[in-house]
Each structure stands twice: as structure tokens, then as C-alpha cells.
Amino acid sequence: MIDADRLSSRIAELGRIGALPGGGCKRLALTPEDAEGRALVTGWFRELGLEIATDVIGNTWAIRPGKRDLPPVVMGSHIDTVATGGLYDGTLGVLAGLEVIESALEAGIETDHPLCVVFFTNEEGARFAPDMMGSGVAQGALDLEQMLASPGIDGTTVGEALDGIGARGPAPAGALKPAAYLELHIEQGPVLETEALQIGVVTGVQGISWTEFTVSGRSAHAGTTPMPLRHDAGHVAAGIAMEARAIARDFGPPQVATVGRLSLSPDLVNVVPESATFTVDLRHSDEDRLQQAEARLFAFAEEAARAEGCTVTRRSLARFEPVVFDAGRRGAGRAGR
Ligand SMILES: NC(=O)NCCC(=O)O
């Protein structure tokens, strides 16, 4: 039996780090708050006498040895949050993994495979793109050097931020080789709750496409510049944002589209913007549909910029193909219901 009270109290204690006044918390990756969270969780690993390791991108894991020389069954998630994060997002997966190990230790249960709990660095991608960075590096899906050079929203690179909080470890990327990976995660959307379901087995991960657009036009006086003579970067950005929404509408579920960041320059009430930088997050569980959504958006952006006498450039911040989870593991989840 796991100790649900111990699990809840750990979730609450971790949630006090970076707590927001109205509830929830903010522990952006590799900030001092993240460092405090890492220290707390690693302290719990240490109290159980587990073998702790940290790799070059700050992924940290703890192992309870198994009876046989086999790769570990890994449980975990992340402890970084977005700027308006919930208490359970990521932390549940890490602390539930810890709880499984502690309960097994208390009950004297020995397993063939080692049991491992891990927290991956920058899974949220809120400070540094892309998301799922630590696990991507661990699995060889993302290049370590490129990720270390990735600039954050404040200009600091991942490498600098890792060193800033002393989170860079000696273990090489890919040192953690799981036999299987299990993650308990709070639902990140409202569907289970709307349908009054307690729990679901996740079937896969959406394909993710993050693009940063920069539109360049010409600043001009808002009062005296006739509309046909404008090269309004803000107008083009607004059109592209509307098109992203139209794509989601036309494609239908599960296509989703989000403009999460947008900044105009010079960002003044009475000046036509000379530049606009913004992001579009497109997701779909089918790779062909995702590519079609990207193609439509990119073509629209070119045309919208041209029509306004502006130019547009784009930069890919994240691109992951959809993943379908292992059928055997999913079936095991259903059998246990
Ligand atoms: N909470 C969480 O696991 N986030 C993944 C990042 C994303 O969905 O962009």
C-alpha cells in the first residue's frame, strides 16, 4: 500500500516553492525556484538511501537496486512549471514514483528490475524551447549541444542557466536506459473532468510544431498615415493569428492552434508597429494533418506579409512527430482498473 498522506504532503511542500498568491506555482526551468525544488526532491531521494545521479542536462534520478542485473523500470516526470503552473503537473509523476519506491522499501518488496524515479529538466519549455528537453536529450531525440545553446525568454542559455544553479551533472546524456517508463500525470486539459472520469490511460503524445514568426514593416504615425500607405507588422501578425484559429476550426479536433507569445515594436499606442514577433503552437495526433496545417499557415503568412508590403521570417522552436504509446503497457493500465 502506498501512503497517500505522505504523497499529498510532499506535493504540498514542493508546491510552496514558487507558490503564486492565487494558487498554483511558478518554477520556471533552471531558475532559483527550480533549484530549490530540485534540492528538496533530491533530499527526499537521499533520505531513502537511493543511488542518485545527474546528467549533463540536469536530469536527476535515484535508483533502488533490483535483484537482477537488468535495466530499471523508470517512473517520473518533471518539477519545472509554466508561469501559471498547477501543483500536480509533473510533480505528481515524480513524487508518485518516489512513493512507490518508499512503499516497496517499507514493505520489504524486492523487484527483479531496479526501480528508478527521475525528474527531467525543462519539460515545460516555458523558459527554453523546445519542451520535453531533458527527456529528449536523454533518449537521443535532441542534440545536447544544441539544447545547451538554446536561448531562454530572458536571453540566458540552457548551459548558462544549468551552471547558474549548479544543476549540470557528470553523467553523460543517455546514461539512464529504462526497461520501461511509467508516468502518472494529472490531466492537462478539461476532458476527463467534463466527462466525470477519474482516470484515463494515455494513448500517445500529440505531434507538436512551435514556430516563431517575425514580421517586419515600417513604423508610422497612427494619426496621419493613410491606411493604404501603411506597412503594419501588427496587422499582419493579427491576420496570421486569426488564420491559425481558422485552421483549427477547419481541420476540426484534434487539431489545436495557439498564439501564446506576441510582442510588437515599438509597442506604443500611437505608432504603427514596425515589427511583430509571435509564436504559433500547432498540435495534431496525425503527422500528415500537422504538416498540412503548417503548410497552410506558412503560405498564409507569406501572402499576408506581401499584401501589406511587409516581410516575414520564421524559426522553428520545437518539432516533434506524434507518438503512439506501447500497446502492452497501455493494456496493463486497463487491466489494473
Ligand atoms: N506538463 C507537461 O508535461 N508539459 C509538456 C509541455 C507541453 O505540453 O508543451
274-288 residue pLDDT tens: 999 999 999 999 999
Mean of pLDDT over the chain: 96
The whole-number pLDDT of residue 334 equals 58
Residue 224 has pLDDT above 50, yes or no: yes
226 with 115, same domain: the answer is no
pLDDT of residue 1: 87
**128 within some domain:** yes
Q: Are 213 and 240 in contact (CB under 8 A)?
A: yes
Which atom number of ligand 1 is nearest to the Cα of residue 318? Answer: 9
- Integer Cα distance of 315 and 242 in angstroms: 19
* Cell representation of residue 63: 535508483
3-class SS string, 186-241: CCCCCHHHHCCCCCCCCCEECEEEEEEEEEECECEECCCCCHHHCECHHHHHHHHH
Would residue 336 count as lying in a domain?
no
Which of 123, 256, 320, when mutated, tests ligand 1's pocket best, judged by the most ligand atoms within 8 Å of its CB? 123
Q: How many domains is the chain partitioned into structurally?
A: 2
CATH code for position 267? 3.30.70.360
Given a cut of 70, whether residue 156 has pLDDT beyond it is yes
Residues 79 and 177 in one domain: yes
Domain-terminating residue out of 177, 199, 221: 199
* The last residue of a domain, from among 181, 199, 217: 199
**pLDDT tens digits, 21-43:** 999 999 999 999 999 999 999 99
Distance 259 CA to ligand 1 centre (A): 16
> Looking at this predicted complex, what is its ipTM?
0.95
The pLDDT of residue 333: 59
Pairing of strands 73-78, 180-182: parallel
Closest CA to 232 of 310, 307, 301, 306: 310
Q: Kindly report, residue by residue over 59-91, the tens digit of the pLDDT.
A: 999 999 999 999 999 999 999 999 999 999 999
| Residue bearing cell 505531434 | 207
The string of pLDDT tens digits covering residues 178-192 is 999 999 999 989 999
pLDDT classification of 335: cutoffs 50, 70, 90: low
How many whole angstroms from its chain centre is CA 225?
A: 43
**pLDDT digits over 96-143, tens only?**
999 999 999 999 999 999 999 999 999 999 999 999 999 999 999 999
* CA–CA separation, 62 and 97 (whole Å): 10
Q: Judge if 178 and 231 occupy the same domain.
A: no
- Judge contact between 73 and 114, C-beta under 8 A: yes
112 part of a folded domain: yes
Q: Do 100 and 176 fall within a single domain?
A: yes
**Whether residues 163 and 47 fall in one domain:** yes
pLDDT for residue 331 = 83
Report which DSSP code applies to 57: T
Ligand 1 pocket member 80 (CB < 6 A): no
Residues 6 or more apart whose CB falls under 8 angstroms from that of 23 comprise: none
Is 326 contained in some domain? Answer: no
Strand partners, 216: 275, 311
pLDDT for 228-276, tens place per residue?
Answer: 999 999 999 999 999 999 999 999 999 999 999 999 999 999 999 999 9
Give the Å distance between the CA of 132 and the centre of ligand 1: 7
Percentage of the chain lying above the pLDDT 90 cut: 95
Last residue of a domain, one of 159, 179, 199: 199
- Is residue 149 domain-shared with residue 16, that is, in the same domain? yes
Residue 86 and residue 186 in contact, taking contact as beta carbons nearer than 8 Å: yes
Amino acid at 173: A
Report which DSSP code applies to 82: -
Whole-Å CA distances, 196 to 93, 190, 192, 193, 254: 22, 10, 6, 5, 20
Residue 82 included in any domain: yes
Q: Give 127's Cβ-side CA count (13 Å radius).
A: 23
| Domain assignment of residue 43, yes or no | yes
Quote the ligand 1 centre to 105 CA distance (angstroms): 31
Tell whether 147 and 46 lie within a shared domain: yes
Q: Are residues 155 and 209 in the same domain?
A: no
CB 76, CB 135: distance < 8 Å: no
Residues 120 and 15 in one domain: yes
- pLDDT exceeds cutoff 70 at 201: yes
Asked if residue 26 lies in contact with residue 15, where contact means CB atoms within 8 angstroms, the answer is no
- Please give the grid coordinates belonging to residue 219: 513604423
- Bridge-based pairing state of the strands 51-54 and 60-64: antiparallel
Question: Residues 72, 141: one domain?
Answer: yes
Say what angle helices 4-15 and 91-107 make with each other, to 10 degrees. 140
Statement to judge: residues 215 and 189 lie in one domain: no
Tell whether ligand 1 has an atom less than 6 A from the beta carbon of residue 260.
Answer: no
Run of H or E including 164? helix 158-164
Q: What pLDDT score does 337 carry?
A: 42
Q: What is the CATH number of the domain that holds 80?
A: 3.40.630.10
pLDDT at 326: 87
183 lines ligand 1 (CB under 6 A): no
Owning domain of residue 33: 4-199
Q: Are residues 43 and 24 located together in one domain of the fold?
A: yes
The sign one gets for the Cα dihedral 137, 142, 147, 150 is negative
The whole model's pTM is what?
0.94
Map grid coordinates 497501455 to a residue.
330
| Cell numbers at 175, concatenated | 546514461
- Closest C-alpha residue for ligand 1 atom 4: 124
